[in-house]
Amino acid sequence: MAPITNGRTLFNEIPTGFPEPGKTTVYDTSKTIDLENVPLNGGVLVKTLVLSADPYMRVQMREADIESYMPPFIVGQPIFSLGVGKILRSERDGFKPGGYVYGLLDHAEYSLPSPDVPVFGIRVFNPEPGLQYSAYVGAGGMPGQTSYYGWKEYANAKAGETVFVSGGAGPVGSLVIQLAKQDGLKVIASAGSDEKVQFCKDVGADVVFNYKTASTLDILRQEGPLNIYWDNVGGTTLDAAIENAANHARFLECGAISQYNSKDGVNMKNLDQIYARRITLYGFLISDLAPKWEEEFYKVIPKKLASGEFKFREDITTGLENSGQAIRDVQIGANTGKKVIVVAQE
């Protein structure tokens, strides 16, 4: 078989605000790959099926010498994210051709990903019967793990308590809502469109509001005080949650998407209430909690997703050439559910 084009999405330029497809990232078709003869050097050749577009990818669009929790994208090189692929050839024990892998993949149609990257190196998996493999980049993968690990480790939830979940309609927030309902809590959730508000209701939230059209402070004053706040957005929403916290509240600091594309305009007025109300803030990364909770997650959650006991929603972008737009959509809130880029069919 002759070499074929290997389409890739390259990092092109560090953005100053929101990432822009065609500028921040470019789609490149200049490389070919010989699938039968490319040397594996002890590794695995993978055909990419789906890729994830995640909020944290904006953090990777930075100067290469700045430290952060995920490695930077390198200008001129493919960007990478979690994904699912099919093994085409392998020289590595345990990776059989025809099997599925989940882990960090280049945004390329074909690649030789490493199993040796900590936490998110590729691993073989068998999709739960009845569960599509794309779910393994969403509720059945990293975002769902974030919800499960964080909730189990830090929420210390008691039936009858009140939790507020910002970013409630995304893969992280919507699973947190369902875990909290299972534990018997009253759940307040926020999201940025009426469609997303409806989804939060569909997964069981008791009080849901569109933070773009309703006042977060007013709702929390009415429906609080908060025993738990699951923070996906940071900024002034966090400040409003502090103002409405109960004494000894637990704040699960999962993300701060309101600040990933701009650091301007954040005016925190209530930080003194952290000590006054004896609030505990838990900043956490999924990578730290994985050794403790991963095995339990895979035993429990994929089954509940497959049976429909836990609901999830995907928002599909078709074609690797559109991955730059998919990444932007997540940052601006244009995604309705877990943003999945479908690169190829099996």
Stretch that binds ligand NAP, among 23-31, 37-45, 273-281, 332-340 (CB under 6 A): 332-340
135 vs 233, beta carbon nearer ligand NAP = 233
**CB of 197 closer than 8 Å to CB of 209:** yes
DSSP 175-196: HHHHHHHHTT-EEEEEESSHHH
**CB of 89 closer than 8 Å to CB of 21:** no
| CA distance linking residue 34 with residue 47, whole number of Å | 12
162 lies in the site for ligand NAP, by CB under 6 A: no
56 vs 298, beta carbon nearer ligand NAP = 56
225 vs 333, beta carbon nearer ligand NAP = 333
Site for ligand NAP (CB under 6 A): which residue of 6, 25, 146, 227?
146
203 lies in the site for ligand NAP, by CB under 6 A: no
**Residue 321 CB, nearest distance to ligand NAP (Å)?**
21
Stretch that binds ligand NAP, among 73-81, 164-172, 180-188, 264-272 (CB under 6 A): 164-172
| CA distance linking residue 191 with residue 181, whole number of Å | 18
Extended beta strands in the chain, E state: 4-5, 8-11, 25-28, 32-33, 44-52, 80-90, 100-106, 110-111, 123-125, 162-165, 186-191, 207-210, 226-231, 245-253, 280-283, 314-318, 338-342
The closest residue (CB) to ligand NAP is 170
Q: How many helices (H) and strands (E) does the chain have?
A: 8, 17
**Residue 309 CB, nearest distance to ligand NAP (Å)?**
20
Number of residues that bind ligand NAP (CB under 6 A): 29
170 lies in the site for ligand NAP, by CB under 6 A: yes
Site for ligand NAP (CB under 6 A): which residue of 165, 233, 301, 320?
233
- 156 vs 5, 153, 171, 314, 316, CA distance in Å? 52, 7, 21, 29, 35
Element housing 243 (H / E): helix 235-243
208 lies in the site for ligand NAP, by CB under 6 A: no
120 vs 125, beta carbon nearer ligand NAP = 120
335 lies in the site for ligand NAP, by CB under 6 A: yes
The tokens for 172 are: 């992280």
Site for ligand NAP (CB under 6 A): which residue of 21, 85, 171, 302?
171
Site for ligand NAP (CB under 6 A): which residue of 43, 78, 141, 167?
167
Residues in the chain: 346
| CA distance linking residue 186 with residue 178, whole number of Å | 11
105 vs 257, beta carbon nearer ligand NAP = 257
**Residue 161 CB, nearest distance to ligand NAP (Å)?**
21
Q: Which of 80, 81, 75, 69 is nearest to 15 (CA)?
A: 75
- Give the footprint of ligand NAP on this chain (CB under 6 A): 54-56, 143, 146, 167, 169-173, 191-193, 196, 232-233, 254-255, 257-258, 284-286, 330, 333, 335, 338-339
